[in-house]
Amino acid sequence: MNKILNKLFSVIFAFFLFASMSVKATEDDEITKELLKYADIKNPQTNLKYNYESVERVPIKLQIINPISTKNESITEGQVIDFIVKEDVKYNSKIIVKKGTKVTGVVQTYMDRGLNGVPAILIIDDFEIEGINKNRLKATYIKRGQNRTLIVLPIKWALTIIPFAGYVSNFIIGGHANIKKKNTVILFYYPNWSK
């Protein structure tokens, strides 16, 4: 019994010892502090004073200028994507954004397609539209490729009777994410949100 208690207390002591060392290492990490001192980090624009009482919104329809695809191009996070406004955007019978206005968005997240039917995903955010306050814009566009996991899972289950045959379905790859000119990207402008 004493051996068990001895080992238990040793494990608990070791856990707290390593936990305190890792916290201290994080506090005294001079290398990280030195690297971040010279880094040019741009924080995203945030609005902490949203007025959610008004849910009135105005859709802004966009069209991509140069179609992109995860199949043919090397897409990187941080890449700027150009769009144009498809039609005049009106609020209270007043045009707030004209048709043909250039809009830019930034690729925030790019996930390549993977095994087991997992599709590629593009998340475009940080849209900039001339004359529109970014704090009043709800603008995240997510484009996914074809999700083939619904094909993979039944095959995997059907092949489980044969040893190791289920692994064959791992090599089914998900679809590419494409943004074509025919795709309409819709952002929402909330005119009554606080500044």
Same domain? 29 vs 91: no
Same domain? 11 vs 70: no
| pLDDT tens per residue, range 8-52 | 667 676 666 565 555 455 556 777 777 777 777 666 666 566 666
What are the DSSP calls for 107-128, one per residue? EEEEE---GGGPPPEEEEEEEE
Q: What are phi and psi of 138, to 5 degrees?
A: -105, 100
Q: Model's pTM, two decimal places?
A: 0.68
Same domain? 15 vs 88: no
Query: Across residues 100-114, what is the average pLDDT?
Result: 91
Judge whether 44 lies within some domain.
no
Query: Across residues 43-70, what is the average pLDDT?
Result: 79
What letter would DSSP give residue 131?
T
pLDDT: which is higher, 101 or 194? 101
Query: Across residues 85-96, what is the average pLDDT?
Result: 91
Residue 191 has pLDDT above 70, yes or no: yes
Same domain? 79 vs 159: yes
pLDDT: which is higher, 89 or 194? 89
Alpha carbon 18 to chain centroid distance? Answer: 34
Number of compact structural domains in the chain: 2
> Which neighbouring-strand residues pair with 123?
109, 142
Same domain? 23 vs 63: no
**Window from 31-45, 85-99, 125-139, 146-160 with minimum mean pLDDT:** 31-45
Judge whether 181 lies within some domain.
yes
Q: What are phi and psi of 80, to 5 degrees?
A: -90, 130
Query: What is the structure's pLDDT at 38?
Result: 73
Same domain? 66 vs 115: yes
Residue 122 has pLDDT above 90, yes or no: yes
Judge whether 178 lies within some domain.
yes
2: part of which helix (H) or strand (E)? helix 2-27
Tally of CB atoms within 10 A around 105: 24
Same domain? 112 vs 153: yes
Please report which confidence band the pLDDT of residue 143 belongs to, taking 50, 70 and 90 as the band edges. Answer: very high
In whole angstroms, give the CA distance from residue 103 to residue 186. 12
Please report which confidence band the pLDDT of residue 74 belongs to, taking 50, 70 and 90 as the band edges. Answer: confident
Judge whether 46 lies within some domain.
no
**Window from 58-62, 81-85, 92-96, 163-167 with minimum mean pLDDT:** 163-167
Which of left, alpha, beta for 131 (phi over 0: left; psi -120 to 50: alpha)? left
Which residues span the domain enclosing 17?
Answer: 2-37
Same domain? 86 vs 163: yes
Residue 145 has pLDDT above 80, yes or no: yes
Tokens at residue 98, please? 């004209």
Judge whether 47 lies within some domain.
no
Same domain? 97 vs 18: no
Same domain? 112 vs 169: yes
Same domain? 118 vs 183: yes
Judge whether 45 lies within some domain.
no
Judge whether 53 lies within some domain.
no
Query: Across residues 100-122, what is the average pLDDT?
Result: 91
Q: What's the mean per-residue pLDDT of the chain? A: 82
Q: CA nearest 58: which of 90, 36, 21? A: 90
